[in-house]
Chains A and B, each alone.
Chain A
Amino acid sequence: MSKKARKKATEPQPELKPLATPEPAQYNFFFLPQDIDAQPADERDLHDLMKLWRHGRATKSIWQAISDGYVALFSLVVLGAMVGNVIYEAQGSQAGCESTACLTAKTLLPTATTFACWGLSLAVSGLFGPILASAAEGSWLMAAPVSRRILLRGRLIAPVVLAGVISFAVTCLVGGLSGLSWALAAVAGGGAGVGAAALMALAGAVQSTERTRLIRTVQAACSFAAVAVLALVVCVAAGWLSVPLPEPAQLGIAQVAAMVVGAVGLVAAMGVALRRLDDIRSARLLSGGSLVAGMQGAMFALDFGLVRDILVERNAVKKGYVRSTQGRGLGVMALIWRDFERLFRSPKQFIPLLVSLFVPYAADALGAGQLNPFLSGMALMIAIIPFMGSLRVLSRTGGLARSFPFATTALRTALMAVPTALALVWAAAATPAFVGISSAGVERPVPLAVMASLAVALAGMLAGVRWVTAKKVDFNAPMMATESGAVPPTLIFNIFRGFDVVAVVTAPLILNWGPSWSLGLAALVFVLVRGTFNMDDMKAQSEQLKREQEEAKARTAQPKKRRAPVRTGR
């Protein structure tokens, strides 16, 4: 006990008195209807008030923010000009190309992109709403006796406009890069944009009915059409199919027709959606809002793994229940068996894997054979990540991994078994693309093509492993000084996780050094990603060793105590 505390304890304690009973508080206002003459709130005023509060909290004007961020703005302008120039040059060189591959790409790739944009717009609308409200709005405004139509009108218009603009830009870009004239590319983009906006408005119109079958059917049809057109591009370019292709101008007319139909659909769907805004349940609005909030948080930390985790968790909650099955095997075999069983539990995840198989064929057929290993590796990485759910869960927090009686290397190796098997099947199926299916691509002898395909498959798989085992950004670690302030290094490196593996492993193939180098690099990456050199463990072991050495040093440094002379009393 400290001196102060001891002193306090010895001081005479004041005599305790019973607490006086407090006077009952007088409340004159209970928010009963008769207490006030309540007037219906004006939604527009509420909205303006919220806007005023938000603006009131701002400490900088937009121009001040821009002038503060002049370096970022300058970089953006320079980069934009560079990218624009590259796109312009690429369009110019592609426009003059008259080979079958180029003609197929010009005619069909914008169409495939259009369908893909439509499918993606509907997928996003299903995920978020498309109309949503934040938790705060749910608490303060949705419960109030106000018309939601005015409050939510902006929430409908925003996703419709966004879907339209993004679809327009992407399709226009793909059209231009495929070799279409910019005018025709703009027409193609316009068709895609108006169509996507109309579909988004349709999703908004059916949101209140909570019947998702129509939207899901249209989404599946659009996705299927996109894949089918992409397959057609590959088949025609490779010379496996001979289809009379329409002239780009004819395609332009079709796109204009799509634009007109889309515009009519957009007006009709918007009308219905606006009328039904009042009928959407609060829970439905808030669900999208909470998802956006969670994803925003993850995006601020550039934690894409967390973004995916949120989506996976949301799907699991939506599913809720599964028919449980008995496991098989003991030890690590039990883990491998569960991973194998998962393949059949979610067969939908095979679709991206199958689509990724088109990439090596499309790249070869369309004359991008030199970049084929990198593009295919990237596509496989994205497609194989859904098969690494267990690895992700056992990497993100230590709790569950601690429950399994295996070393981290053994655990990771076991969880890589099923994705590796899938990658090997993918490699076998993609081998013809690396042999060379068209005159436009790179030709290789069969043994080298088998090795190249295997190297690309391993690159994609290992990149997936690196991506899912990413650790959270450590804001306690030493920061890097940048123009934007202090930034944790992991924040930057997390953006490139996975991509770096694909780039390193496929670099020898792109540089024509031969696939043996790529396979060697893949083996090296495997040793690293399975956690052979676990930095945390090594750090802990070295710290422990250091502590023991210091303690031993301290013991030896202590002066030997002299034995006190024995007093005999003599």
Chain B
Amino acid sequence: MAKKEPVLSVTDLKKSFGPVVIVSGFSLTVYPGEAVALTGRNGAGKSTILRCIIGADHPDSGQVLVDSVPVLETDPRIRKSVATVIDDLDFFPDLSVVEHLDLLARAHGIPDSDDAVDEVLREVQLVPQSGQLPGTLSSGQRRRLALATAFVRPRTLLVLDEPEQRLDTEGVEWLTQRLIAERDRGLAIVFASHEPALVERVATKVINLKGAMYESGDEQESA
């Protein structure tokens, strides 16, 4: 049996803001079918690691490779492989919910995008809101739309920052089922979460981050 190539490989990542070291010596390898959960209190560095993984932030040192390609946010190869839902997702103010999904599916070259769009729309329970403009959606509905943009397109790595945020109980349960299915189909997932049940059911590996420290400190607490 051929050895699997890692989808994501993070080596010795370091990121600091001024004198505060957020992450130091962080390494991670994620293979297809693995789901890695980053946990820890606020400010532990979960989002910083995720932003470095997708190229939104540049690490001070270390290397991030996706499918053996160094991560650069604007590289189309990375954009094709990595689907992300982090806090900086924006929407076109004049395109409806369904038009956003249709546009993304088509941009990724899905020929029969209608079926994919309808399915995802049903799944995230935004069918009644399909004609609404994003500005009129509630925060939970916006979150569902953000998740839908990740699921309506091809991907090999899914990066999610607290995906359960603003979702109702039913929504969290749907998300859990969906991520389990994605993982079992061979997708690699890295996510940060504060929801113990989601982490327990989805993650194949949990990394508990302990937090930031000052550069002058004698001990690095990040796990």
Contacts and interface: CB of A to CB of B under 8 A. Distances in A.
Interface of A: 2, 312-313, 315-317, 319-332, 334-335, 338, 342, 345-346, 389-390, 393, 396-408, 410, 534, 536-537, 540-541, 543-544, 547, 551
Interface in B48-75: 54-56, 58, 61, 63, 70, 72-75
A137 to B, nearest CB: 25
B98 interface: yes
A4 to B, nearest CB: 10
Which of A317, A399, A406, A541 has the most B CB atoms < 10 Å from its CB? A399
A489 B41 CA distance: 37
Contacts of A407: 74-76
B165 to A, nearest CB: 15
B76 A406 contact: yes
A332 to B, nearest CB: 7
Contact of A405 (B73, B76, B131): B76
B216 to A, nearest CB: 14
Contacts, number: 139
Contacts of B70: 544
Contacts of A346: 94
Interface string B93-108: 1111011001110111
A400 B72 contact: no
A407 B78 CA distance: 10
B219 interface: yes
B136 A317 contact: yes
A75 to B, nearest CB: 36
Contacts of B79: 402-406
A324 B96 contact: yes
A389 B99 CA distance: 15
Interface of B: 54-56, 58, 61, 63, 70, 72-76, 79-80, 82-84, 86-96, 98-99, 102-104, 106-111, 113-114, 130-136, 149-150, 153, 218-219
Contacts of A400: 89-92
A320 B84 CA distance: 27
Nearest to A337: B106
Contact of B107 (A320, A335, A534, A540): A335
26 contacts: A2-B218, A2-B219, A312-B93, A316-B94, A316-B135, A320-B135, A320-B136, A321-B136, A322-B96, A324-B98, A325-B99, A326-B102, A327-B99, A330-B110, A330-B111, A332-B107, A338-B95, A345-B94, A393-B92, A399-B86, A399-B88, A400-B90, A400-B91, A401-B74, A406-B107, A408-B74
Contacts of A389: 92-94
Contacts of A404: 79, 104, 107
Given A320-B133, A321-B131, A331 B76 contact: no
Which of A316, A346, A397 has the most B CB atoms < 10 Å from its CB? A316
Nearest to B133: A316
Contacts of A398: 56, 73, 88
A326 B153 CA distance: 17
Given A324-B98, A406-B76, A406-B107, A313 B90 contact: no
A326 B112 CA distance: 11
A317 B137 CA distance: 9
Given A320-B133, A407-B75, A543-B58, 10 more contacts: A2-B218, A317-B136, A324-B98, A324-B130, A334-B106, A345-B94, A389-B92, A393-B93, A400-B89, A402-B79
A541 B105 CA distance: 30
Nearest to A342: B94
A405 B80 contact: yes
